[in-house]
């Protein structure tokens, strides 16, 4: 027994020893893990945090670009991308490739055959999910909803922000665009102000359960997103919309190589409108053919618009005698003979005033070489800002190329040849003429605002950048420019707008031949331009228009497309700014026919009952129950089949199809909805800027083209500035 007990005790001691050793090893391991938080080189704390901690991105919003009245020109919107899940282990996957392709293809702008091949190839390659092409990206809520309503298995959506340009081709070279996929700003203000516009994403850190759901009382840490700043421009949508409309009309009718138009306030330097052709829709930037904003990035020989500043310099220096006579026709300067635009025939012996009105190259050459002096000419080019950039807040502004090699270059520069300048430089220089000697720096960004705090980060103010001439000189130059338009011998007849005092100068510059040292010749093979201002006595607007190589007939003058743009936009803008009396009110009272009553605050049903049997077409806007506005108003006579417009107490309204409506109908319609209409032509509605069926609100802009546009008779000869070799 004692031997057996001894053996048992030894075994117990051994087991105890083993147990104690194992316990010590386990305890040591636990202490080690607790201390180092590592197992086999793996960081347990990091693994736990990775398993239970979650981070979600809080997306910031890129800043919005607005016009001067606060209407969005570029904004961030939610969009949707469609993708297909092919993995059969998922709850929802593409089961029927044929049926899915048949229903989905028309809604993502692709062919049924192509989509079927894409889906089939993805299945064969064992892909979990696939993208469906460009047509399946950047969909609107309505487009996504239409696809969602099909309830196709395996078709899913991903929310993504997208940059949207609601006014499409509106000032597209000014605004620019950002790429959809990469979000990179590529052009215009979108690029130059990218650091101010772009947002910074934030992060939300939280703890979750094994399914990824937030725990009831998690500890959270939030890094808030920073939204981009909003940019407000000086562009006036009423003027800009009208400019885009007439530019598109001229582009369609004359198919020029390119066009440029700028509208500015000479008192402040604010750019109210700016447009180029060819243009583009920033929402479809893949189709861009022209990446240059010609208004600031293009330089060319301006032609006779430069004569404005040559004469201004001569008047300011006291060497201009408008009644002094000279021999027109041609002038020899060193080894070059310069001629007047009528094939150097000239008009005999005429005064310098008449020479300016007729746009004589010889008159300008004589002024510089015999009176003003070469050095003074270049001094005044400097004063007018032609030898430096304007500094406008737009990217890629070009510098002028001023020819300075002696008397020949000075003579050519005096009438706009040899020296190349930009359109925006001409606008800046013209503000000195319009603003009684004070030259204003052009700008297009009014202010930059933090949308979260409403703090103004930057505010541009009108800036005088020089006073190249006196008030007296400016007044005298404007008087001469007015005569260019109104005088029987002036070259600006096509720009004479009845009822308005227009002052301006025509320009018809030759284009250098890239294959030779000379110029391109031929009818219409020029840059036709006009730099004008109004009203002449105290200009509120300066407008520059240039059209390069329009397709004009042999009986048409190059001023036809240019004057169509200038006259339309100048007349429209002056009337819009209430600078001149508005057109006469349309007489609405008739001796016979139906007479309107006061329908305000009556129910729609009651009005319908009242007018039942009358030969009046009732047009009702909105889905409200009561009448909030009417046109014509009470006690106005209406003829049979005329339209009576009623606006209900609603927030939005559906745009009607106005094709065939009369001018009177459109005015009544615009008045009842408080719209801002712009009219082109006379007669009946041919096109409208807002598509029928579009939802609109009060105060929006509307452009209407009426059938049978009034043709502008042009009898003046183009004053092509030329060198007689």
Token pair, residue 614, equals 């009358």
Q: What is the DSSP string of 181-205?
A: TT--B-SHHHHHTHHHH--B-EEEE
**What pLDDT does residue 37 have?**
62
Cis peptide before 632 (omega within 30 of 0): yes
Q: Of 304, 559, 563, 689, which is the active-site residue?
A: 304
304 has catalytic annotation = yes
588 falls in which pLDDT band (50, 70, 90)? very low
The average confidence (pLDDT) of the chain is 85
| Cβ atoms of residues 29 and 40 within 8 Å | no
543 falls in which pLDDT band (50, 70, 90)? very high
**What pLDDT does residue 539 have?**
96
513 falls in which pLDDT band (50, 70, 90)? confident
Alpha carbon distance 409, 413 (integer Å):
6
**What pLDDT does residue 719 have?**
55
Q: What is the DSSP string of 529-558?
A: EEEEEESSSS-SEEEEEEEES----TTS-T
- Chain centroid to Cα 271, Å, comes to 12
The share of the chain scoring above pLDDT 90, in percent, equals 46
Confidence (pTM):
0.72
DSSP classification of residue 494: G
Is pLDDT at 686 greater than 90 in this prediction?
A: no
589 falls in which pLDDT band (50, 70, 90)? very low
Say what the alpha-carbon torsion angle 236, 239, 242, 248 is, to the nearest 10 degrees. Answer: -80
57 falls in which pLDDT band (50, 70, 90)? low
Alpha carbon distance 530, 307 (integer Å):
12
Question: Pairing between strand 129-131 and 221-223?
Answer: unpaired
Please, where are the H alpha helices in 466-509? 471-486
Alpha carbon distance 616, 393 (integer Å):
54
**What pLDDT does residue 137 have?**
76
Nearest to 138 by CA among 158, 115, 152: 158
pLDDT tens-digit series, residues 385-439: 999 999 999 999 999 999 998 999 999 999 999 999 999 999 999 999 999 999 9
4 falls in which pLDDT band (50, 70, 90)? low
**What pLDDT does residue 717 have?**
43
Asked which of 9-18, 83-92, 381-390, 404-413 is least confident by mean pLDDT, the reply is: 9-18
Asked which of 493-502, 573-582, 605-614 is least confident by mean pLDDT, the reply is: 573-582
pLDDT tens-digit series, residues 687-714: 888 888 888 888 888 888 776 433 323 3
Asked which of 104-118, 379-393, 554-568, 577-591 is least confident by mean pLDDT, the reply is: 577-591
Alpha carbon distance 80, 78 (integer Å):
7
- Region 299-308: mean pLDDT is 95
Other beta carbons within 10 angstroms of residue 587's beta carbon come to: 9
Q: Which residues are CB-neighbours of 288 under 8 A, at least 6 positions away?
A: 280
**Which value, in Å, is the radius of gyration of the alpha carbons in the chain?**
36
Token pair, residue 626, equals 């009561």
Q: What is the DSSP string of 14-55?
A: HHHHHHHHHHHHHHHHHHHHHHH-EETTEEHHHHHHHHHEEE
Is pLDDT at 213 greater than 70 in this prediction?
A: no
43 falls in which pLDDT band (50, 70, 90)? low
Alpha carbon distance 128, 159 (integer Å):
19
- Region 24-48: mean pLDDT is 66
pLDDT tens-digit series, residues 97-127: 888 888 888 888 888 888 888 888 877 787 8
309 membership: H or E segment, kind and range: helix 307-316
Q: Is 419 left (phi over 0), alpha (psi -120 to 50) or beta?
A: beta
Alpha carbon distance 369, 410 (integer Å):
8
């Amino acid at each position: 027994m004692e031997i057996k007990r001894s053996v048992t005790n030894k075994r117990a001691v051994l087991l105890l020893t083993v147990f104690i050793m194992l316990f010590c090893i386990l305890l040591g391991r636990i202490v080690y893990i607790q201390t180092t938080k590592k197992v086999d080189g793996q960081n347990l704390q990091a693994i736990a945090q990775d398993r239970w901690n979650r981070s979600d991105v809080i997306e910031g919003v890129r800043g919005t670009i607005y016009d001067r009245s606060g209407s969005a020109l570029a904004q961030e919107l939610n969009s949707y991308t469609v993708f297909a899940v092919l993995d059969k282990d998922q709850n929802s996957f593409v089961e029927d490739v044929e049926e899915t392709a048949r229903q989905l293809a028309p809604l993502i702008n692709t062919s049924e055959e192509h989509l079927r091949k894409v889906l089939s190839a993805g299945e064969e390659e064992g892909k979990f999910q696939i993208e469906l092409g460009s047509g399946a990206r950047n969909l609107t809520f309505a487009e996504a909803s239409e696809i969602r309503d099909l309830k196709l298995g395996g078709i899913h959506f991903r929310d993504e922000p997208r940059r949207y340009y609601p006014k499409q081709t509106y000032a597209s070279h000014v605004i620019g665009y950002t790429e959809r996929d990469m979000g990179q700003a590529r052009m215009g203000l979108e690029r130059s102000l990218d650091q101010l516009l772009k947002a910074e994403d934030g992060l939300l850190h939280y703890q979750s359960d094994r399914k990824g759901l937030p725990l009831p009382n998690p500890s959270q840490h939030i890094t808030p997103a920073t939204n981009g700043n909003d940019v407000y421009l000086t562009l006036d949508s009423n003027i800009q919309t009208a400019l885009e409309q007439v530019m598109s009309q001229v582009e369609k009718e004359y198919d020029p190589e390119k066009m440029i138009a700028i509208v500015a306030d000479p008192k402040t330097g604010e750019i109210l409108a700016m447009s180029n052709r060819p243009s583009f829709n920033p929402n479809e930037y893949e189709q861009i053919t022209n990446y240059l904003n010609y208004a600031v990035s293009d330089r060319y020989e301006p032609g006779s618009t430069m004569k404005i500043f040559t004469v201004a310099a001569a008047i300011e220096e006291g060497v201009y005698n408008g009644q002094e006579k000279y021999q027109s026709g041609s002038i020899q300067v060193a080894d070059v003979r310069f001629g007047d635009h009528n094939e150097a025939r000239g008009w005999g012996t005429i005064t310098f005033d008449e020479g300016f009105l007729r746009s004589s190259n010889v008159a300008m050459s004589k002024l510089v070489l015999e009176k003003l002096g070469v050095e003074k000419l270049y001094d005044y080019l400097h004063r007018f800002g032609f030898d430096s950039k304007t500094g406008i807040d737009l990217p890629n502004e070009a510098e002028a190329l001023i020819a300075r090699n002696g008397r020949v270059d000075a003579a050519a520069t005096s009438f706009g040849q040899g020296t190349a300048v930009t359109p925006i430089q001409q606008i800046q220089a013209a503000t000195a003429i319009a603003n009684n000697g004070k030259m204003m720096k052009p700008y297009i960004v009014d202010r930059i605002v933090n949308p979260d705090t409403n703090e103004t980060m930057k505010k541009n103010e009108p800036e005088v950048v020089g006073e190249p001439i006196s008030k007296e000189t400016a007044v005298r130059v404007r008087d001469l420019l007015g005569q260019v338009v109104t005088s029987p011998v002036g070259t600006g007849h096509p720009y004479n707008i009845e009822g308005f005092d227009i002052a301006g100068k025509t320009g018809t510059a030759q284009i250098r031949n890239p294959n030779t040292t000379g110029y391109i010749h031929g009818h219409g093979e020029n840059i036709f331009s006009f730099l004008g201002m109004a009203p002449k006595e105290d200009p509120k607007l300066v407008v520059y228009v240039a059209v390069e190589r329009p397709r004009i007939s042999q009986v048409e003058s190059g001023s036809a497309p240019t004057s169509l743009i200038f006259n339309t936009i100048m007349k429209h803008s002056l009337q819009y700014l209430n600078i001149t009396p508005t057109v006469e009110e349309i007489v609405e009272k008739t001796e016979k026919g139906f007479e309107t009553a006061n329908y305000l605050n009556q129910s729609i049903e009651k009005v319908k009952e009242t007018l039942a049997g009358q030969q009046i077409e009732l047009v009702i806007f909105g889905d409200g129950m009561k009448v909030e506005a009417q046109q014509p108003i009470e006690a106005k006579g209406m003829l049979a089949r005329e339209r009576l417009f009623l606006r209900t107490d609603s927030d939005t309204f559906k745009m009607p199809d106005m094709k065939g409506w009369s001018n009177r109908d459109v005015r009544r319609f615009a008045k009842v909805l408080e719209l801002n209409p712009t009219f082109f032509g006379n007669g009946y509605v041919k096109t409208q800027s807002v598509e029928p069926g579009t939802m609109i609100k009060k105060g929006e802009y509307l452009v209407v083209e009426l059938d049978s546009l009034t043709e502008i008779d042009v009898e003046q000869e183009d004053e092509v500035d030329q060198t007689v070799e």
